A and B are shown apart, each in its own frame.
Chain A
């Protein structure tokens, strides 16, 4: 029962200084009373159904009155002359009078037939009319009980819902939050369920629950937290993954590239499983694994992998987007800055300060500040200057909130935040931080500089047409108490103040947000499943104590992301096998778990924790778009591993490259991949990102767009992926390159098969696989011998159709493809014989197989 939970949280919160708690001395008593009462009704047994008047009054005060205000007040309680259906819910008398039908909304003789009740049940009338707003069964039952008990308005009198007199001390553990104040008093005095405010509380000092681990087990703090929750649900956990699986998992997690064969070979020698309880048997593997993690963290490819996550969040692109989609020639310096920062293990608090106020704090230059203009933006002759300035202000305000604080500040742009304690005033206060920042564009180059601050006004409804009250710059007012010290730097500039506040230990959001992002990189889901939204509408943390413990540990360890990876990856939690069957195996092989229900443990895990939120096994994942492209190149031996630098024009589907693309007033020239093969074969993170030009292979594999921040990639399974992976030129060319390399190493078919399997899977084929593959090669060689192919030259020009604006007639414009004239082409099928083509088919099949595409 939520009320009981609220009580305990409130008792704890009373000693905190961050939230203003209006506490009535009687509150706890009442709360217990109401809690018990509602617990009884929640069981919905007929015998405990009745409420007495006092209980009903309390129910009204704690639950129904806020519910009526929230769900009905807009149309039936705002003011006397704006009532819909002439129905007024602001007083008991009005409810009894009813609406335009003249029928009372409450029927005391037959409460179940009360029009009010019928309406909220959507029986006849449908109220509230929006599906999203519909009352829950529990809420409807409150109304039913309340009517049955005489429908008392609070105190038995005629208290008015819209009036102030419901601001009585809270009796249900709900709390009010001190902010700079909303646009209405109702909002300002709004009450929150404490569990929706967890993210704003100071980090709790949590003790590791060591007792969750047996004495003979490795003492890893993360495992202790995870096991505590598993045990609460009486769930078992999977046995450790085998070393090969773990090496592959760790290597992709930290570099986004496939493991070296030598690393896998070393893993294969360690047949013993790392976490059997006899320490001596796996001692050497533990050391080897730790050494592997160190090597991976030291790899320059680590920074590329991490930067990919970060660029998703900040929406990196090489162009402006919108109508002209102007190129941004200096955007890449930000990407290199991010890669280097992760490679250097730059303390995260410094990373924050550099991106928000590197100039004002004397820490970094324009490279880092590019964060402030990463979003889509443009100013053209069609634009209104004030509107484009506002476009940037809105973009940067929300971006800072989402990226560093896990707060969707945009929600407070037009009105006070509907769910979180963020008044619209705060939105504009944060926006005013940027009022002294000039954001200049010249031919795609941006520069962040200082200017005389413009005045910032609240814009009701978000519209520039009717500016409201002017606001001063500031931080989120509900966390203002954590900002006091930041004022010290106020003379350095407003952004300096903001950066200092965000990057401060006392800010309860910052460390939680980044720790959660890193956790998600490893487990596919954060402890909070919505890394960009830590507010009420975001997900609740599955392991709140672990999150706080990690956040504190992270800051105590110098805000080091690399140390955090190592902490997570050395945990038994991270090293588990990935199957329910491993859960069952764990119990079957364990002498302590001989228990008649052993074999049903896997089923139990599926029932109790269907989404594996409690991590009884390791969640597998598909490789991301970039990992797939990079891996295919790495395996074919073609990957160019250069780090950093300007964006490169990688291959894209030719039809898309040559497809006419309309920009404001012109047709964009065709996309021409770099003539230099080594340039095309760079890692995907360096592929130029033009906002209005897609890369079909990347997009079909769920690379997000660059308009909105992406907190977590989707992982869909759709048919167009088949076309791309099975027919697309890119994968075919890589398969052919790999086949050609292997064919040159050996002309023995069996050896070729072994080499293909080792290259793609990092292991030799099983006997059955070797047999199938050999048969396949034989058949395919015959088919290729029978199929004659002709060389297909590259085009030297492309003619695109344009519609002339003046006439609406088509015109044809010819573009010469200069890059293709001296194009260093990839190996083509007509340049090799049928045997190599058949071997390429085998490579293609393996590139399309789940063993390659998934990390377990």
Chain B
């Protein structure tokens, strides 16, 4: 394979995550540093994206609606020309099963099930003005993660890695920490799309081999593998002499050596057992309800420390159509302490100021629900016109609540922005300009926002 001009122009500029391809090209061609300059100075250099898959309810987390307590159980009429089967039938208003309180000096509203997050309320900036477009999980997930509801485009993490490069040539620049099962729409949620393959999110699996086939099968030892690689290197040397113009051969051999090294490095990073007990406790590791997500949060911190640019950690199951009290109650419990622990830990390591934390799902939930045998049913349907998300860390206007929804939480009414503006804002906080972070593909310069968007200035410090 010869590098064609487009790859040379647009591909190589992005440093290459897992792959030492770039370092070889750097050695052979330009003297480009692996870390690239942002478009503008920014505090955040890394991002930890906490993704609550299923659509967490804004009404029951960060956007209290006292009015719904009054309307609770009353009939609700849905308007609009295009209705799905989900929007049909008798519908009743649903009040939140949770109590709310103001936390921190800033008095940020949150549901009182968030016991630990309240400690770090002053680090958070809650945004209530976001609007999605799709009310189906797979398309909404893809929209939030890639900007394109139908998939095929690069994920936010791939764009950020493309723009900022990597700090660690031996690790992927974009790592995904999935939950028990993949979110709807699957691995397309962390696709590199048309960006170089090295920018694809690498899932570190919580069970089994952290990276597929990281280790040789059990009938082989590391020594055998070393011998195999030595023979391969010899054969390749002869082959390269016969094909001196075939540039990719050098990069290939480098990859084999890198793969050999990663076998010891990756298990080292994911091994949380050597962390001090009080730090593990901070994340809720060892407690049954919080252990799983606590591990993901701690791993996210360790990866960021090692120079990984973008980590996305999933919590799945927030699709609470029936029973908010139990569903959201349990899920809030499972993420509350881990997330608070993450923020506290980053802060005590002085890393919070250079790490952007995002918490969101693919859409919000409705103030009403389809009645069950005519009676109120304590869950909520999907709602693309209102949602809550929050940001913390580098460059974020902490201790603020921005935007608002109407009195029932049906629709955002203040500082209302579509997902593409949220994407522009995330890029901005990381020092990137959506209009400049482009890649030529399919006949045009493509960008995360698809067609351009604006930064939500209210969220930026």
Binding site for B on A (CB under 8 A): 129-132, 322-323, 376, 380-384, 386-387, 408, 418-419, 464-465, 530, 532-533, 535-538, 578-581, 610-612, 619-622, 653, 655-656, 659-664, 667, 692-694, 696, 702, 705, 707-708, 714-724, 726-729, 732, 766, 768-769, 772-773, 776, 779-780, 783-784, 787, 789-790, 792, 800-810, 829-830, 837, 841-842, 844-846, 848-851, 854, 856
Contact at B2–A132, with CB atoms within 8 Å?
A: no
Give the shortest distance, in Å, between A213 (CB) and chain B (any CB). Answer: 26
Contact at B227–A783, with CB atoms within 8 Å?
A: yes
Contact at B85–A382, with CB atoms within 8 Å?
A: yes
Neighbouring B residues of A707 by C-beta, 8 Å: 150-152, 188
Cβ 8 A contact of B251, one of A702, A717, A769, A809: A717
Cβ 8 A contact of B435, one of A131, A663, A715: A131
Q: In whole angstroms, how far apart are the Cα atoms of A619 and B246 in the complex? A: 10
Contact at B1–A715, with CB atoms within 8 Å?
A: yes
Give 6 CB contacts A-B under 8 Å: A716-B197, A783-B223, A803-B180, A806-B322, A808-B329, A808-B334
Contact at B231–A702, with CB atoms within 8 Å?
A: no
Give the shortest distance, in Å, between B444 (CB) and chain A (any CB). Answer: 6
Cβ 8 A contact of B136, one of A322, A581, A802: A322
Contact at A383–B232, with CB atoms within 8 Å?
A: no
Q: In whole angstroms, how far apart are the Cα atoms of A850 and B221 in the complex? A: 24
Contact at A705–B152, with CB atoms within 8 Å?
A: yes
Contact at A845–B235, with CB atoms within 8 Å?
A: yes
Q: In whole angstroms, how far apart are the Cα atoms of A619 and B252 in the complex? A: 18
Q: In whole angstroms, how far apart are the Cα atoms of A663 and B319 in the complex? A: 13
8 tightest Cβ-Cβ pairs between the two chains A and B: A537-B443, A803-B317, A660-B181, A808-B330, A722-B259, A801-B180, A829-B219, A716-B197
Q: Is residue B224 within 8 Å, beta carbon to beta carbon, of the partner chain?
A: yes
- Name 5 extra pairs, CB < 8 A, besides A661-B186, A810-B180: A465-B81, A662-B181, A663-B184, A727-B217, A769-B235
In the complex, how many residues of chain B place their beta carbon closer than 8 angstroms to a beta carbon of chain A? 104
Neighbouring B residues of A384 by C-beta, 8 Å: 82-84
Q: In whole angstroms, how far apart are the Cα atoms of A448 and B256 in the complex? A: 50
Cβ 8 A contact of B326, one of A622, A693, A806, A851: A806
- When C-beta atoms are compared, the residue in chain B nearest to A792 turns out to be B218
Contact at A610–B228, with CB atoms within 8 Å?
A: no
Q: In whole angstroms, how far apart are the Cα atoms of A784 and B218 in the complex? A: 12
Q: In whole angstroms, how far apart are the Cα atoms of A387 and B84 in the complex? A: 9
Neighbouring A residues of B138 by C-beta, 8 Å: 322-323
Neighbouring A residues of B84 by C-beta, 8 Å: 381-384
- When C-beta atoms are compared, the residue in chain A nearest to B170 turns out to be A719
- When C-beta atoms are compared, the residue in chain B nearest to A784 turns out to be B224
Contact at A719–B259, with CB atoms within 8 Å?
A: yes
Contact at B219–A837, with CB atoms within 8 Å?
A: yes
Cβ 8 A contact of B245, one of A387, A581, A779: A581
Q: In whole angstroms, how far apart are the Cα atoms of A792 and B181 in the complex? A: 26
Give the shortest distance, in Å, between A668 (CB) and chain B (any CB). Answer: 9
Contact at A655–B330, with CB atoms within 8 Å?
A: no
Neighbouring B residues of A772 by C-beta, 8 Å: 231, 234-235
Residues 329-361 of B, flagged 1 when their CB comes within 8 A of A and 0 if not, give 111001000000000000000000000000000
Q: Is residue B318 within 8 Å, beta carbon to beta carbon, of the partner chain?
A: yes
Residues facing A in B1-49 (CB within 8 A) are: 1-2, 4-5, 18-21
- When C-beta atoms are compared, the residue in chain A nearest to B333 turns out to be A808
Q: In whole angstroms, how far apart are the Cα atoms of A809 and B252 in the complex? A: 45
Neighbouring A residues of B322 by C-beta, 8 Å: 805-806
Cβ 8 A contact of B184, one of A659, A664, A722, A773: A664
Contact at B19–A718, with CB atoms within 8 Å?
A: yes
Give the shortest distance, in Å, between A413 (CB) and chain B (any CB). Answer: 12
Neighbouring A residues of B240 by C-beta, 8 Å: 850
- When C-beta atoms are compared, the residue in chain A nearest to B315 turns out to be A803
Q: In whole angstroms, how far apart are the Cα atoms of A387 and B135 in the complex? A: 12
Contact at B317–A653, with CB atoms within 8 Å?
A: no
Cβ 8 A contact of A808, one of B19, B137, B317: B317
Neighbouring A residues of B151 by C-beta, 8 Å: 705, 707-708
Q: In whole angstroms, how far apart are the Cα atoms of A410 and B326 in the complex? A: 44
- When C-beta atoms are compared, the residue in chain A nearest to B252 turns out to be A717
Give the shortest distance, in Å, between B16 (CB) and chain A (any CB). Answer: 8
Contact at A692–B209, with CB atoms within 8 Å?
A: no
Neighbouring A residues of B180 by C-beta, 8 Å: 660, 800-803, 810
Interface core residue of A419, A667, A851 (most chain B CB under 10 Å): A851
Known: A659-B181, A723-B211, A808-B326. A381 touches B85 (CB 8 A): yes
Neighbouring B residues of A804 by C-beta, 8 Å: 317, 327
Q: Is residue B120 within 8 Å, beta carbon to beta carbon, of the partner chain?
A: no
Contact at A768–B334, with CB atoms within 8 Å?
A: no
Q: Is residue B198 within 8 Å, beta carbon to beta carbon, of the partner chain?
A: yes
Give the shortest distance, in Å, between B424 (CB) and chain A (any CB). Answer: 12
Q: In whole angstroms, how far apart are the Cα atoms of A387 and B185 in the complex? A: 19
Contact at A323–B186, with CB atoms within 8 Å?
A: no
Neighbouring B residues of A732 by C-beta, 8 Å: 217
Neighbouring A residues of B81 by C-beta, 8 Å: 465
Give the shortest distance, in Å, between A196 (CB) and chain B (any CB). Answer: 11
Cβ 8 A contact of A619, one of B2, B150, B181: B2
Residues facing A in B263-306 (CB within 8 A) are: none
Known: A621-B1, A830-B219. A844 touches B198 (CB 8 A): no
- When C-beta atoms are compared, the residue in chain B nearest to A775 turns out to be B231
Contact at B316–A803, with CB atoms within 8 Å?
A: yes
Known: A717-B21, A803-B316. A419 touches B330 (CB 8 A): no
Q: In whole angstroms, how far apart are the Cα atoms of A131 and B19 in the complex? A: 29
Neighbouring A residues of B246 by C-beta, 8 Å: 579, 620, 850, 854
- When C-beta atoms are compared, the residue in chain A nearest to B327 turns out to be A808
Give the shortest distance, in Å, between A3 (CB) and chain B (any CB). Answer: 24
Contact at A130–B452, with CB atoms within 8 Å?
A: yes
Neighbouring A residues of B198 by C-beta, 8 Å: 716, 718
Give the shortest distance, in Å, between A70 (CB) and chain B (any CB). Answer: 14
Q: Is residue B323 within 8 Å, beta carbon to beta carbon, of the partner chain?
A: yes
Neighbouring A residues of B258 by C-beta, 8 Å: 719, 722
Contact at B224–A783, with CB atoms within 8 Å?
A: yes
Cβ 8 A contact of A801, one of B181, B191, B334, B382: B181
Cβ 8 A contact of B319, one of A702, A779, A805: A805
Cβ 8 A contact of B186, one of A694, A696, A729, A842: A694
Residues facing A in B434-456 (CB within 8 A) are: 435-436, 438, 442-445, 447, 452
Q: In whole angstroms, how far apart are the Cα atoms of A383 and B139 in the complex? A: 12
- When C-beta atoms are compared, the residue in chain B nearest to A840 turns out to be B219
Q: In whole angstroms, how far apart are the Cα atoms of A384 and B81 in the complex? A: 10
Residues 225-266 of B, flagged 1 when their CB comes within 8 A of A and 0 if not, give 101100110111011100111101101100110110010000
- When C-beta atoms are compared, the residue in chain B nearest to A414 turns out to be B451
Q: Is residue B212 within 8 Å, beta carbon to beta carbon, of the partner chain?
A: yes
